[in-house]
Amino acid sequence: MIDNVKRPLRILYVDTESFWRGGQEQLFSLMVGIRKRGHDVELAAPAGSPLANRARDAGVLTHSFTQRSELSLSAAWKLIRIMGPGRVDMLHYNTPRPVLAGKLAAMISGVSILVASRRVNFPLRSGFSRIKYNRLLDRVVTVSGSIRRTLVQNGVRPERVSVIYEGVDLRSIDRLPDTSVLPARSGLVVGVVAHLSPEKGHVTVLKAAARLRERFPGVTYVFVGGGERRQMLEERARALNVADRVLFTGFRKDSDAMMREFDVFCLASLSEGLSSAILAAMARALPVVATRVGGIPELVVDGITGLLVPPGRPDKLAEALAKVLSSPSLRRRMREAGRRRVAESFTLQRKLDETERLYLELAKLRRPKRPN
């Protein structure tokens, strides 16, 4: 149990994914930042995962942890062995899968604070999910107000849910080296940075590109990201007669640096919690054309930092892209406004301040009362 909230907290972060996406990137920046503030930080994650490797390289003590199913006693046992008795104050889950196993492990190991991040905007699928968020956690941290509203509408008690927006380090963004990945070109570049999964709306972008081919023949569309749908998307690009204008780079560790080669950032998601890629694009001073879903309108101010369109509407997406591509002055205004918005509201410093404040408030609530 925590007996003094002024001393450093001992936090074990848990992530169950083997890939590197926005959630892992944001957890990495959180762990490194909280550690720099004097707290003891450890990570439980799949051995060899990009997150585990980067955390270890950054000096974070990393434990091998995998979990396939939510109802896993072996996962609970793994966490018990990692934490040991009374050695950890807080478990912070980056994904919901280990919540039940973590609760069992926390009861045995004496961990008093349980927190989970929620980054997706999908409705809860079962009564068990409501129990999990209401009974097995002290707090759910959502990365957008939209996700919080979805949880509350699905039966999670409002006082259990806190919104802490993601943030970026502008100085780190500015120090990234040039990549020079794209071939020599004379036209503009529309960049898409997202895992190649259905909800990211890549097909909508391809259909919009087909509509714009005659009007903007020199525009290149760059798709940065890995995923099982790459072959299908390449075939769709050929069918739409835009394959010669589309470049698939695959997964890139330097995607933020690559954005320097873009003129416009585009994301046509069908569902989105909060887009780390949009944050990076705005930090890179890129105008954004995106869909009005999930937490995206909390980032992009329509008409000021970018343009928002309905999801699944390639006609509307094409109209918005055409408006931005055809106007250098509009791109310039949106670049300046987007960068300013990130600097004012979505910095890593603010994210760390709000997260640390939440941690300490929860620690104070869990402090044992002194006997009279």
Please write the tens of the pLDDT for every residue from 299-356.
999 999 999 999 999 999 999 999 999 999 999 999 999 999 999 999 999 999 999 9
Yes or no: domain 171-345 corresponds to CATH 3.40.50.2000: yes
Interhelix angle 202-212/230-239, rounded to 10 degrees, is 20
- 96 pLDDT band (50/70/90 cuts)? confident
**pLDDT higher than threshold 50 for residue 184:** yes
Pick the CATH number of 10-167+347-365 from 3.40.50.2000, 2.30.30.40, 3.40.50.620, 3.40.50.2300: 3.40.50.2000
Query: Comparing 178 with 75, which gets the higher pLDDT?
Result: 75
pLDDT of residue 212: 97
- 367 pLDDT band (50/70/90 cuts)? low
Q: What is the mean pLDDT of residues 187-198?
A: 94
Please write the tens of the pLDDT for every residue from 109-160.
999 899 999 998 888 888 888 999 999 999 999 999 999 999 999 999 999 9
Q: How many CA atoms lie within 13 A of 29 on its CB side?
A: 22
Token reading at 164: 């802490």
Q: What does the buried/exposed string (b/e) look like for 262-299 if buried means 16 or more CB atoms within 10 Å of the residue's CB?
A: bbbbbbbbeebbbbbbbbbbbbbbbbbbbbbbbbbbbb
Question: Whole-number mean pLDDT of the chain?
Answer: 92
The domains spanning 10-167+347-365 and 171-345 adopt the same CATH topology:
yes
Please write the tens of the pLDDT for every residue from 57-67.
999 999 999 99
Q: How far apart are CA 172 and CA 250, in angstroms?
A: 23
Domain ranges across the chain? 10-167+347-365, 171-345
**pLDDT higher than threshold 60 for residue 182:** yes
Phi then psi for residue 253, to 5 deg, are -65, -25
pLDDT of residue 366: 66
**pLDDT higher than threshold 50 for residue 369:** no
- 256 pLDDT band (50/70/90 cuts)? confident
